[in-house]
Amino acid sequence: MELQDATALGGAIRAGRTTAAAVMEASLAAASALDRLGAVTILEPELGRVGAAAADAAAARPAFHGVPFFGKDLGAHAAGLAPGAGSKALRRLLPSPPTDSTLFARFRAAGLIPFGLTTVPEFGLSLTSEPLGGPAARNPWDETLSPGGSSGGAAAAVAAGIVAIAHATDAAGSIRVPAACCGLVGLKPSRGATPAGPDFGNYLMGLASELVLARSVRDVAAAFDAVARSEPGPFPDRPRIALAITPNTGPAQIAALRAAAEGLVGIGCEVSEIDPAPLDALGERAGAVAWMILAVSLAEWLDSLGIGESDVSPLTAAIVAQGRATPASVLFAASREMACIGHAFDTLFDNAEIILTPVLSGPPPRIGHFDMTGTDPAAHFAAMGALAPNAALANVAGTPALVLPVVMADGALPVGVQWAGKIGTDRMLLTLAAQLEAASPRPRFPYAIAGLPQ
C-alpha cells in the first residue's frame, strides 16, 4: 500500500489524478473544519489559490508539485507571510515580506505552496503551543493533549491532515518534541546544513535549525535534499547503535526504545545498551547554555524593536530581564562551553554511529501544562527539561537528531524515539530510518490528508 504523505500527494497531482487547485481547496476546507485544533494562526487563502493556479500551469513538476504548505510563525519567512512569533506586539510591527527567505525559496522550488502560518507559543518559549490571547494548538490524536512546542501548530496541522508537510524550527527540541507528541517524523538538521539567511534572525548562536514535520521519512528526506547543501557521508555496512535509556523515562517510552532497537537489529544493525550518565551530564550542561542564549537573544531582539514588558507575558518579561542582566563575559564563556560540550558529545560516538534515546520522559503534556503567566524562568526551563530530557544537547553540539514514531501494540498514541548522529550524518540517519520505517507498522492517523485521492 502506498504511503499516505506529501510525496504521494505531489505524485497524484503530477499524474493528473487531481490538481493543485483542488488540493488547495481541500486544505482550506480542512483548515476551516478543524479550526478547533488551533493549528493555524494566519491563513491566506488567496496566496494559496494563486500558488496552486501557477502550479497547475507550470511545466516543471518537482517532488512536492502543488502541495499545500504552512510556514511556522517563527523562523524563516515566505513572501506575504510575516512570522509574529506568537506575539501580537511583534505582529503589529512586522511588514509583510515581499520576497521569500532563502529557505522558503528552496521549499517553493521543490513545489510547496505556502499559504499560512502555524501556531507557536509566545517567542517559542514553551514545549506546548498556547499563545496568549490566541487559541491553544491541540493534539489531533487526543484534543485534551498538546501537540508539543514550539512547532506544535505545524505538528497538529500535519497530524490532522490539513497539510501533509509543514515548516518547523528547532532551538531546543521544537521539531522533535512535536514529532514525538503527534506520531510524526522530524529531523533537527546538523548546524549549517539548512539556510538561515538572508537575515539570520533565528540563528541563536548556532542553536537553531529549520526543516519540516511530516508523516514519513521520505518526505523529510526529500525536503532535506531540496534545501540542504551538504554531501552524503559514508554509510557503514553494519551500523552500530547505542541505546541510552535515561532515568525517569516512562514505561511506554522504554517499550518504544526497545522496539526500535529490536527493529534495528532486524535490519542488520548492531545494538548495545550504554550507561546514560555521561549523556545526561552533557544534556544538563547543554540545557543551561541554551536557556542563557535564548534569554540574551530575546532581550536583544525585543529591545531592538522597542517591545516592552507590558507587551509580553509575565514569563517572557522575566526571561528578558534575565537576558538583559547577563554580562558579556558570561555569554562569551557560554560560547566556549558550547564548543566543549560539542567535543565531549562527539566522543560518545567513538563506538557507535547512532545514539538512540527517548524524546519525552512520558506522554505528551496536557493543555495548560506550562504557565506563561509565571515569573520564574529557572522553574519553567526545569519543567521543560523534565518533559524532554537532554533535548537541547543536539542544538548546542550542532548534531542532527531525528525522531521516528514507534507504533504501540496497545493501539495507543505512537511514541517518538530520537536518533542522534555526528555532525553531517543527516542523510545516514534518514536512510537508516527509512529502512526501519519500511519494516515497521505505520501510524494510523486520525485524519486523512486533505485532497489526497484515496
Q: Write out the catalytic residue numbers.
A: 72, 150, 174
Backbone angles phi, psi at 327, to 5 degrees: -65, 150
Tell me the CA distances in angstroms from 266 to 95, 164, 166, 259, 435, one per residue in order.
53, 29, 31, 11, 10
Provide the 3-class DSSP secondary structure of residue 234: coil
The answer to whether the CB of 245 falls within 8 A of the CB of 273 is yes
Query: How many Å apart are CA 231 and CA 225, to the nearest integer?
Result: 10
Rg, C-alpha atoms of the chain? 20
Residue bearing cell 538538521: 189
Residue bearing cell 502506498: 2
Which DSSP category does 143 fall into? T
Query: How many Å apart are CA 307 and CA 299, to the nearest integer?
Result: 10
- Cβ neighbors of 8 (< 8 A, separation 6 or more) are 2, 164, 449, 452
Q: Which helix (H) or strand (E) holds 242?
A: strand 240-243
**Cell numbers standing for residue 339:** 564548543
**Alpha-helical regions (H) of 110-212:** 152-159, 176-182
DSSP codes, 263-309 = HHHHTT-EEEE--SHHHHHHHHHHHHHHHHHHHHHHHHHHHHHT--G
Strands (E), 57-124: 67-72, 112-118
**Alpha-helical regions (H) of 63-122:** 88-93, 102-109
The answer to whether the CB of 76 falls within 8 A of the CB of 103 is yes
Query: How many Å apart are CA 18 and CA 110, to the nearest integer?
Result: 18
Residue bearing cell 539556510: 195
The answer to whether the CB of 205 falls within 8 A of the CB of 435 is no
Buried b / exposed e along 245-270 (16+ C-beta atoms within 10 A): bbeebeebbeebbbbbbebbeeeebe
Backbone angles phi, psi at 359, to 5 degrees: -95, -55
Provide the 3-class DSSP secondary structure of residue 215: coil
